Structure formats: structure tokens, C-alpha cells
A and B are shown apart, each in its own frame.
Chain A
């Protein structure tokens, strides 16, 4: 399990990580979502031991990560812009990884390279951006580390490869002790693949929960309540994140179980009431809006 205990990191005047406490459970895919500059990359770089937190602790399986090769041998970090040696081909990079990760699965790597249609002898510098990402993912997967940190790794992959990579992740999770942590702006993508999600905004972790739990705990309630007094009572009783009115139709983003919200609306004499589950994107927008990151600020 990866544990972040009150982790804090500041770059000059910028608070990149603001006393973050979270944990990533084993055997689950953890998604890291956040606004631009929220600190996702910084958090991943701290988890893999590239950056030392100003304060707090980053632990993997109970041991600190920074400057701890034994722990780091169980973590592989795939940067958003992967680095390859000048003039290196896939085989050279494979050999280098094999030097550093003793469990590196060469057979699997070679077969995946073949399956992905990558030329092993071709210079990586001549590959497209997406192909470079593919190489990076294959190297990371075949390193056979327990934790794989992917910083926007899926961005730039074509849909077929993306699907293939998702399948590979699922297969790895089934076959061994494997915990990927994926940061991405593509929330739709993460929604499909992640078991749990951490939402970062301006260095703060707004929430970290299993995706099902998040979804179960937030919903969109649409209702029409003729009696304004009872409507007000219902509004006061709900934990509303966002509210819009179109004529007599009230649309609210509500925190709490869907059933409870629906029951409350019906008890308030609603002539019409229904709850709709939120997508991860909607949850993201709602939660960041609460934290002051409002789309209206960009539009108006």
C-alpha cells in the first residue's frame, strides 16, 4: 500500500502539495485527477522518490520511498514525457531496464513489442509521440514492479492501443500483485478503468475514495415541488453542491445517497422527482467548483 502522510511540497511561492494524506490500496487501479497545475505530477514524483517532500512521509509498504532502492525497485514511474537515450532502440532500453529491474520479463516485453507492431531495432527518436508512450508503458509493465505510476500516459494513445493497454493492466492485476496509479485529464478514461480516485486541486486533495463509493455518494436530483415553503425545507435538508432552476424544475447536485435524496424530494410533495448518477467529469467539475474552480470564471 502506498501511504501519503501529511505530505507537503512548495516550489518557491507555489504550494504544489498541501498537507496531503491519502492511501492507495493494493490490487486496485488508482486514478489521480485534477485541474492543470493541481500537483498531480508532483505527487507522482514524490511517490516514486524523485522529489523529496518538504514535510510529511511517503511510504510504500510501510517503508519510506525517497533514497530507498529496495522500495523503489517495486515502483516504476512513467513520466508524461518519457526519456530515452540518444540513438537508443527498443532493445537497448529493454536491456537497461533489465539491468535495473531484476524481475523484468523479457519474453513478455519482446512479445508485446511484436504485438504492438513496434520495430525493436528502430531508433526510438524516430517514433511518433504515441509510439514512444507505448514503449514507455511496455517497459513499465514488463519491469514487473508492484506499483506502476503513469503520469498522463494514456494521453496520446490511439483508442485501440488505449484499449489494449487497459486489458494489459487488467490482466496484470489478475495475475500478480499489481497496483497502477494513473493520472490523467481524460476522466472518461479513468472512469472506465479506475477502482478508486483521488481528486487534486491546487495542491490539496479534495477527495480520495473508491469510484463506486464516490458515485453512490453524489447524484443529480431533478424535481418539481409546487409548495415553495416545502421546497425550501427540502433544500435546507439536502447537502447541495450545485443548484440550477429552469422554470419550476429544480436541478441540484447533491452529496449523499441517491435513495435518500429521492425520498426527501418525494416527501416534500414533488410532482416530479428523479435522481441521475453523475459522471466522473461532472463530479470533478462539481467538486472543484466547491473549491473555487468554477467554469463560469472562464466563460463570463
Chain B
């Protein structure tokens, strides 16, 4: 009956009936894509050429061009303009609901389904016309964006390929939301509930996937967010909304791989198949009801209510800034009750019928309660769990202080996890040391010393001085398990002394062994003055310096790193995208630029290669190259000293002796809490306090107590980037 010609006629008729949507989509995409791209490129390119001149102008233009090329695919996928991403979502929702919303109206449904066309054919007609309403203007606008890029000299082969990928990303993103809404429309009998269902389907897997680590993080003391990539990946891959965001962002940054496109296509196909099946069996009498399949109502209610109640509990707690976990239980149960009422109202749309689905309401609330009991009472012994030592193939650990003390080049290459870097011991001796260390962590936990307590402790408290939170990674076959324990500093010191005997361990944890010397573009250093100074070294000299530094690191006693005061540090400039992971550096590099730690164009500065007095090889090497680490601050080099004393220090008279050495008329600023800032300008005053100042360094275990008192020093050659600790006695 319905020939191919009829199909085309029906699609044409459907598009004509939705002409307003086609016009709206066309105008919206035209403004959001080529027009926005044109304005954005113009405003950016117009801004830079003015400020620089000569060859610098060319460099700046080149840099700006590179920036625009990096940004360009985002004009197509929506990552460069969030309104475009929102427009794609809105188009998808409108295309789906205007196309399939007719099944929610008895009149329309009677009209269409009485016509001599099969449901599958209707589905195809509606689906294709909705798709075309978006696709045609989107592809045309993408072409116009590319033309804009070509006219502005942005386009090259790589950018063109990335733009094509971005377009694919945009189309797949549209399909994900489009299919989600069609599925939701086929599940419901009203457009309003269809919209709500779309929202639920779009975010449900993400909420569920994130809920598990959120519960762990809230209720389990030893839980650490490290290694949570599986839940994140699941949330992104199974959730249409998560996948949409990931897809548009990644394809807009030219970072989307085939895997991402395939997983998006698979998810879109699954949603479409589900929608098609439901549409075929959609009961015509469902029009006007909340749900198309009333028997599923209690199931959906329970499925939505439990994670949504827990999620609401967390959200309210976060917004209200409520401490502790007790309120989460109360808030989640309250949210469960309210959600049951709300869902039942949506189902029945009658206040008198709110208790009709009481069984599913009870199941929902009980479900929330059971989950909260399991987590809050730790019924499965998550916190006290220790793996069978025999089954553990390796153990890695990462005290929190390592994150402060070390700076790894991998941070800027992979945006990587420090856990990869801190150990990963596979030798039996090292494994045993770390296993015993972890056991002390569990014992501490049983004794009430938890990582959470340490997190909340003041930095100058005794607990903070004596304990360090440490993350452990147990590797068992192909499985990785992470835990976080509160460990005594002395226990850690002993373990480090033991582990430090191994050269392999040192090579694993010290960042210098992670640097490929051939990748180092330049070297600078900071001594006690804390002012970066460039060391003009050849590639060979850099290699020699790093070799000397490695020797010193391997030879030094571990206590040097824990208790020693460094003379300064060496800073290495490495390429942003050293290695094969250039694409992954975008975020990290952006952050670096933002925080001002980036080096020359295309490089980042990696510091914290501390040099201690006992590092004879390094110091000798530097001296050989003509650079000396100053071991004392000469008073004549100092132009000003700012002393900052906390209120508590002032009240306790801790610095009485030091302050008595200063004249009464020094520049002071007093604060309400008793804190004082003193600025010294005269050479005599500076000389009087200089002996009490030394650069602050917490050491490998962060073992030096931070009192909150510090000094800033201005030298004739510049302002020190270090903060100086103030000793009580000059």
C-alpha cells in the first residue's frame, strides 16, 4: 500500500506540518554556528595584532592562529559555544516531541493510526522527518562554518578533518538526545511526563553510577576517589546526557577517538531500538495517561525514587553545608517520601490518590533505608578490609605529603594520577613493608584515628603533625583496589627508610627519574632567595646536571628528604605534550596558562627538584657551569621584609624576643583577631630579623609544623616566590 513514493510524500507532508520547527532550527543554527564563528574569530583576531610589533607580532599571530585552530571544531560541535550545545539539545527534544507527541493525544492518535499505514512506517516517517529537520540546516551551517574558517585562513587539512569529526560528534549528540526523547515519548501518555521521562532516561545511569562512589566517599573512612574511573566511564557511556557532553566536548577539541564515536553510536542505536519496540506495542488507549504501560509504574517509581532520594539528600547536604552523615539519612528518607508523593501525583494527577501506590512507596523508602544502613553501618566491612597478602601482586602507596613535595612531569603530560608514580612495589620485601604499613592504618582506624578526622584537623594541631593520610593501591590480578589510611608519621618514616634502600623504589618516586633529559628544553633554578634564575645550559650540560642530581637522590639518606632544609630547587622546562599524549595535555595546559606556571610557548615548568646541602654532585655540577646556590641571604640584597604573625602567636608571646629587637615605630597593621603584619624597610631592622628567616619546606612527610606565621622578602633583584618560616629566636 505505502510505496516508496508515499514514504517520501508522507515525510514531506510531515516536515511541512512542522515547518515552524524547521524554520526555528535553521535560524537558531545559523546564528549559533556561522554567525557566531565569524564574530568570535573576528573579535579574537582583532584583539592581538594591536598589542605587539615586529617579529613578536608574527609570533603572536601564529600563536593566536593556533589557538583558533584548536578552538575551531568547537564552533561545529558546540563546545566553543554552550548555547549551540543547548540549541542541539533543544532541537532534539522538539524534533522528538513534535514528531511523536501525537501518541499522547487521543484525537491525533485516532487520526493517524486509523490511516492505512503500519506503525513501523509511521515511526520511520516521523523519525526521518525529525532527523532531516535538524540534519539539513546543521550540515549546511557546518559547511558555512568551514567556509568562514577557510576565509580567515584557519582551515588546513587537520582542522578540516577535526571539523568533520566535530560535525559527526554534533550529529551523534543530537541522535542521543533525539532517541532518548522518542523512547521517553513511547513510554508515556502525556507530553509533560514524556519530558520528565526524557530527563530521567538522560541522566539516570549517570546518577546511579555516581551515587555508588558518593555513598562510599560519604560513609567509608578509607574510601578514596582515586581509581573511580570505572564509574565515571560507566556514567558517561551509559548516560545519554553524559555521553552527549563528552562527545561534543571531545569532538570539539579534536580529541574524540573512534571508540567514543562507536560507543555513542551503540548507545544511540540501543535507545532507538528500544523506542521502536515500545512504539510498536504502544497501546492507543494510553494517550492521556501518565505512563503508557501502567504495570511498569511501580517499577519505575522504585527505580527512580531510590537513587533520586539519595542524590537529593547529598545535594541538600552540600548546599546547606551540613557536616556529618546523620543528616544524609534523614534528608534522603524525607526526599524518598516526597518523591514517592510527587511520582504518585504525576501518575494519578489526583491528590486523593496519593496513597494508591503505597506498596511501591514503602519499597522505595525501605530501599533507601537499607542502602543507607549498609553504608553507614559498614555492614560489609569495607573500612577494615585487608586483602589476602598472598593474593596481592603489588602494593603502591601515596602519602598526601608526596603531592606537595613532588611535582611529576606526567602531571602535564597525562594529567595523571600520582598513584601510578608512588611505588607499585612488586618485590616481596617492599610489598611486606607496605602491607604492614597498611595494617597499621587499619589499626589506627579501629583506634579512632581516621582519614576524615585528619582532614578536618587544623594544620597546626598535634594530629596534623603526627599523622599523614596515605592512599594505598592493592593490585590483585587484573583488579586494583584503593584505600586511604591515616598513618603515623614515624611509621611512614620507618617504612620509607626501609623502602629507600631499594634503588628501584627511589627511581619510582623521585620525579627526576621520570624526566627524559632529551626533552628538557631549558633549566632554571631557585636558591634561598626564591627568585628564578635561568641557567643557560646546552643539552649535554642538562644531561650531566640531571645525572648528577640522580646520583645525589639515590645516595642521600631518606631523612634528608624528610627533615632536611633544601638550599633551593632546579626547575625544568619540558614540552607540554612530551611523548605521544599531546592531545591529553589540552586541559592541563589550559590550567597551567591560567595559573601562570607555563613556560615559554609550548612548554611547562616542572619544579620541586630540591637541592640539599649534601647534594655534592649537583652543587658541583652547577658551579662548574657557573651557577652557585647561595646558602645565606645577604642583608644588603634585601629591600623589605613583611612579617605576618597570627593572632595566637601574638597572644602567646612566641616572638617576644624577636619583636623586642625591632623599634616601636615600625610599620604595623593590626587586625581584630590580634594578628599583625609588620613591614621592615630599614637595613638595621632587616638585619635584625634576617637570621630568623629560612625558606619553608615541609619535607617529604610534611613533618614541619605550620604555625601560620611567615615572612615575605623583597630583594633588590625581585620579589621572592618563597614564603619564609620565622624562627622564634633571632
> Interface code B1-42, partner A: CB below 8 Å = 1, 0 otherwise?
110001001100100010000000000000000000000000
Given contacts A45-B110, A51-B284, A73-B1, contact A100 B17 (CB under 8 A): no
User: Is A109 in contact with chain B by the CB < 8 A criterion?
Assistant: no
Q: Are A81 and B117 in contact (CB under 8 A)?
A: no
User: Is A67 in contact with chain B by the CB < 8 A criterion?
Assistant: yes
Q: Among A48, A52, A79, A95, point to the contact of B107 (Cβ < 8 A).
A: A79
Q: Are A48 and B114 in contact (CB under 8 A)?
A: yes
Of B121, B285, B294, which is in contact with the most chain A CB atoms at under 10 Å from its CB?
A: B285
A99: chain B residues at CB < 8 Å are 6, 9-10, 13
User: Is B116 in contact with chain A by the CB < 8 A criterion?
Assistant: yes
Q: Are A11 and B107 in contact (CB under 8 A)?
A: no
Q: Are A67 and B118 in contact (CB under 8 A)?
A: yes
Of A52, A76, A86, A99, which is in contact with the most chain B CB atoms at under 10 Å from its CB?
A: A99
Given contacts A72-B116, A100-B116, A100-B117, contact A50 B13 (CB under 8 A): no
B17: chain A residues at CB < 8 Å are 85-86, 88
B117: chain A residues at CB < 8 Å are 69, 72, 100
Given contacts A45-B284, A51-B284, A99-B9, contact A69 B1 (CB under 8 A): yes
Q: Are A73 and B116 in contact (CB under 8 A)?
A: yes
Q: How far is the CB of A132 from chain B (nearest CB, A)?
A: 11
Q: Are A50 and B113 in contact (CB under 8 A)?
A: yes
Q: How far is the CB of B314 from chain A (nearest CB, A)?
A: 37
Q: Are B118 and A50 in contact (CB under 8 A)?
A: no
Q: Are A69 and B114 in contact (CB under 8 A)?
A: no
B119: chain A residues at CB < 8 Å are 67
Q: How far is the CB of B156 from chain A (nearest CB, A)?
A: 47
User: Is A77 in contact with chain B by the CB < 8 A criterion?
Assistant: yes
> Interface code A80-118, partner B: CB below 8 Å = 1, 0 otherwise?
011101101000000110011100000000000000000
Q: Are A12 and B1 in contact (CB under 8 A)?
A: no
Q: Among A69, A82, A95, point to the contact of B118 (Cβ < 8 A).
A: A69
Q: How far is the CB of A16 from chain B (nearest CB, A)?
A: 8
Given the complex of chains A and B, what is the CA–CA distance between A82 and B108 in angstroms? 8
B284: chain A residues at CB < 8 Å are 45, 50-52
Nearest CB in chain B to that of A99: its residue: B9
Q: Are A83 and B1 in contact (CB under 8 A)?
A: no
Which parts of B98-119 form the interface with A (CB within 8 Å)? 105, 107-111, 113-119
Nearest CB in chain A to that of B1: its residue: A69
User: Is A70 in contact with chain B by the CB < 8 A criterion?
Assistant: yes
Total interface residues on A, CB under 8 Å, equals 28
A70: chain B residues at CB < 8 Å are 1, 116
Q: How far is the CB of B137 from chain A (nearest CB, A)?
A: 21
User: Is A49 in contact with chain B by the CB < 8 A criterion?
Assistant: yes
Given the complex of chains A and B, what is the CA–CA distance between A72 and B13 in angstroms? 20
Nearest CB in chain A to that of B117: its residue: A69
Nearest CB in chain B to that of A50: its residue: B113
Q: Are B108 and A83 in contact (CB under 8 A)?
A: yes
Chain A binding surface SS class: loop
Given the complex of chains A and B, what is the CA–CA distance between A72 and B283 in angstroms? 18
> Interface code B308-347, partner A: CB below 8 Å = 1, 0 otherwise?
0000000000000000000000000000000000000000
Which parts of B178-211 form the interface with A (CB within 8 Å)? none
Q: Are A72 and B110 in contact (CB under 8 A)?
A: no
Q: How far is the CB of A7 from chain B (nearest CB, A)?
A: 15
B109: chain A residues at CB < 8 Å are 50
Given the complex of chains A and B, what is the CA–CA distance between A12 and B109 in angstroms? 19
Given the complex of chains A and B, what is the CA–CA distance between A48 and B6 in angstroms? 21
Nearest CB in chain A to that of B3: its residue: A102
B283: chain A residues at CB < 8 Å are 51-52
Given the complex of chains A and B, what is the CA–CA distance between A77 and B112 in angstroms? 10
Given contacts A12-B294, A99-B6, contact A72 B111 (CB under 8 A): no
Of B17, B110, B283, B284, which is in contact with the most chain A CB atoms at under 10 Å from its CB?
A: B110
Q: Are B113 and A49 in contact (CB under 8 A)?
A: yes
Nearest CB in chain B to that of A51: its residue: B284
Given contacts A48-B114, A50-B113, contact A11 B285 (CB under 8 A): yes
Q: Are B111 and A82 in contact (CB under 8 A)?
A: yes
Given the complex of chains A and B, what is the CA–CA distance between A100 and B1 in angstroms? 9
Nearest CB in chain A to that of B121: its residue: A69
B108: chain A residues at CB < 8 Å are 83
Nearest CB in chain B to that of A47: its residue: B114
Given the complex of chains A and B, what is the CA–CA distance between A177 and B107 in angstroms? 28
Q: How far is the CB of A239 from chain B (nearest CB, A)?
A: 38
Nearest CB in chain A to that of B5: its residue: A99
A72: chain B residues at CB < 8 Å are 114-117
Nearest CB in chain B to that of A16: its residue: B285
B115: chain A residues at CB < 8 Å are 72, 100
Given the complex of chains A and B, what is the CA–CA distance between A12 and B356 in angstroms? 14
Q: How far is the CB of B677 from chain A (nearest CB, A)?
A: 71
Of B108, B116, B284, which is in contact with the most chain A CB atoms at under 10 Å from its CB?
A: B116
A49: chain B residues at CB < 8 Å are 113-114
A45: chain B residues at CB < 8 Å are 110, 114, 284
> Interface code B553-578, partner A: CB below 8 Å = 1, 0 otherwise?
00000000000000000000000000
> Interface code B282-320, partner A: CB below 8 Å = 1, 0 otherwise?
011100000000100000000000000000000000000
Given the complex of chains A and B, what is the CA–CA distance between A271 and B522 in angstroms? 132
Given the complex of chains A and B, what is the CA–CA distance between A96 and B1 in angstroms? 15
Q: How far is the CB of B348 from chain A (nearest CB, A)?
A: 12
Q: Are B285 and A51 in contact (CB under 8 A)?
A: yes
Given contacts A51-B285, A69-B118, contact A79 B110 (CB under 8 A): yes
Given contacts A79-B107, A81-B107, A85-B17, contact A50 B114 (CB under 8 A): yes
16 intermolecular pairs with C-beta atoms under 8 Å apart: A50-B109, A50-B284, A51-B283, A51-B284, A52-B283, A52-B284, A69-B2, A73-B1, A73-B116, A75-B116, A79-B107, A79-B111, A81-B107, A82-B111, A83-B110, A100-B6
Besides A11-B285, A45-B284, A50-B114, 15 more A-B contacts (Cβ < 8 Å) are A12-B294, A49-B114, A51-B283, A52-B283, A52-B284, A73-B1, A73-B116, A75-B114, A76-B114, A79-B110, A82-B107, A83-B107, A95-B13, A99-B10, A100-B117
